[in-house]
Amino acid sequence: MPTNLLIVDDNEEHLDLMFEILKEENRYALFRAVSGEEALEVVADKDIQIVILDVVMPGMDGYEVCRQIRKQYRLKPIQIVMISGFNHKNDLDELLELGADDFISKPITALELQARLKAALIRLRDQTKVMGVLRERTQPEGKNFSTLVAENIQLRQEYQKVRRINEELQANCHQLEQLASLDTLSGLLNRRTLFKRIEIEIERTTRLDWPLTGIMIDIDHFKRVNDNFGHQCGDIVIQEIGAKLTKSLRKYDYAGRYGGEEFFVVFSNTMAGTAQSIAERFRLEMQETRFNCGDEQFNVTVSIGVSQYIPGESPGRWISRADGAMYQAKQRGRNQVVIS
């Protein structure tokens, strides 16, 4: 038997479009309504099983229609698919709280409409089976089936609320963890998190027997930047370095702020020669970057030391070798890359 499907939209063009998409599918008996009031009349008269319901309508809007259907037909597994131009999570949460089963975003496409309705058919079939089983189990024992279903609906609503609260808590915890692990100025890992990551990468490279290389970056004459242009301009330089490093790194590389104007980058599964080439590109990019701070314009350069991890050495020793190579770069005139 075809499934009775009601499409509710005050826009006749939208109604015609959806009818055209669905009329050739033999699985639906199609009905239409152009207002919320008319929709409730059709639901009552035609034993509607699926409702496609526009949210924004004059008079009785989609929110109220959804609320009325859920209130009047609590014992029927009517599927309500909302049509909405909203994409904010709070708007979608409100639709679900009212009893909507799914939603379709505007503009409507044939593929999405057909897919959402197929999903609605599956839910309709499954919920019909569940209600049939509940009737069989409760009626012989004299239990009130209506009360049982009402309690089940309430439990489902409470579960959805708890699930959303848990999702928000998890998101907030993740955000707090991110904030606790990052340097607020550069956006890179802070020193504590950087050292934890270094220990993890050393353990991994030892276990997998692949190369690990680090580079130490230091801003040349950074004190002059602060003295000549002010600490705010110095902060802009640090922020820009953090942004450039974040943009250029692979997803399995890590960069952190090691000190005031020093940065350490960990390149996983990377030989020193490859890291040197990456460092050289970064050095040239910084050399060509023009900073604007108020009415002032200036350039900065960086000196970089590269060191490949030697199996068995301590994290401190590895970092120290990169630091030593960086100081060699400064002694040789700055604005260059040196391998340990």
SS3 267: strand
Angstrom distance (rounded) from CA 10 to CA 57: 6
Tokens matching residue 14: 């939208």
Strand 3-8 versus strand 302-308 pairing type: unpaired
Buried/exposed 214-225: b ≥16 CB within 10 Å, e otherwise: bbbbbbbebeeb
- In DSSP terms, 14 is beta-bridged to none
Choose, from 201, 261, 262, 296, the residue flagged as catalytic.
261
Closest of 268, 274, 246 to residue 201, by C-alpha: 268
* 151 catalytically annotated: no
Strands (E), 134-197: none
Q: What is the dihedral of CA 173, 174, 178, 181, to 10 degrees?
A: 70
C-beta separation of 66 from 82 below 8 A: yes
Phi, psi of 7 (to 5 degrees): -110, 125
Give the Cα separation of 63 and 36 in Å (integer). Answer: 9
Place of tokens 């200036």: 298
Spell 115-133 as b/e; 16+ CB within 10 A means b: ebbeebbeebeeeeeebee
- Would you name the residues annotated as active-site residues? 261
